[in-house]
Amino acid sequence: MEETLILVDEHDCETGSAQKLFVHQQGLRHRAFSIFIFDEQGRLLMQRRAMGKYHSQGLWTNTCCGHPRLGEQTHAAAQRRLFEEMGLTCPLSKVASLLYREQVSNQLIEHEFDHLFVGLGGTPPQANPDEAMDWRWLPLSDIPRCIAAEPESYTVWFCRIFELYPLAELQRWYEMVLHPASRHAPR
């Protein structure tokens, strides 16, 4: 059965719903999330999208992404999807949101109000092969260079996040999950 996505306005207020493929064919704005799981060394868990995905197959991206179901809170959906895709459970904290519209493969369009979550992973992932064909831990400081060298190897949303948020901000996200008490400390 095809997934139903939550359509939203530019402020993430729900405006309706529609089938996932139709949403991406028409480029309709919808609610989504992207998860960044770090290890204690500050490396980001990256996944390579499975070839069976309907777009952006075989591309490297952040740990996990997805869409909340109708009536499901975004944070709960992120927890659910992290386990479904990567076999991981850990506390997640929202750090930012991103509104973007980009052409992806197969003549589809991603137009997302994307909630960005971070967490600290303490165990190796157990990737679902229907979702991720590979995974690796990559130091944050290496990622901008990797994207610059081979931008076609990464998803458009992952590249966009690294364009909009400086490396220092992503390192701050890591510090937040490593030292949760610092989350409310003045900057």
What mean pLDDT do residues 158-180 have? 92
Ligand-binding site membership of 55 (annotated): no
Q: Give the predicted TM-score (pTM) of the model.
A: 0.93
Give the pLDDT band (50/70/90) at residue 182. Answer: low
pLDDT per residue over 7-52, tens digit each? 999 999 999 999 999 999 999 999 999 999 999 999 999 999 999 9
Backbone phi and psi for residue 8, each to the nearest 5 degrees, phi listed first: -140, 165
| Rounded distance between C-alpha atoms, residue 128 and residue 50, angstroms | 9
Domain 4-181: CATH superfamily is Nucleoside Triphosphate Pyrophosphohydrolase (3.90.79.10)
Strands 30-38 and 109-120: parallel
Res 68 pLDDT > 70: yes
Ligand-binding site membership of 85 (annotated): yes
| Rounded distance between C-alpha atoms, residue 61 and residue 64, angstroms | 8
> CB neighbours of 86 closer than 8 A, spacing ≥ 6?
37, 45, 47, 63, 64, 125, 126, 127, 128, 131, 132, 135
What mean pLDDT do residues 108-131 have? 94
Strand partners, 30: 7, 112
Tokens, residue 46? 């990256």
Ligand-binding site membership of 30 (annotated): yes
Backbone phi and psi for residue 90, each to the nearest 5 degrees, phi listed first: -165, 160
Please say whether the dihedral angle defined by the alpha carbons of residues 97, 94, 55 and 148, taken in this order, is positive or negative. positive
Please say whether the dihedral angle defined by the alpha carbons of residues 157, 64, 28 and 56, taken in this order, is positive or negative. positive
What is the helix (H) or strand (E) element at residue 33, kind and residue range? strand 30-38
pLDDT value at residue 1: 60
| DSSP letters for 105-123 | STT-EEEEEEEEEEEE--S
Q: Which residues are catalytic?
A: 65, 112
pLDDT value at residue 179: 87
Q: Give exposure, 138-177, as e/b (b: 16+ Cβ within 10 Å).
A: eebeebeebbeeeeeebbbbbbbbbeebeeeebebbbebb
What are the residue ranges of helices labelled H in the chain? Answer: 20-26, 74-86, 143-149, 156-164, 167-178
Domain limits of the chain?
Answer: 4-181
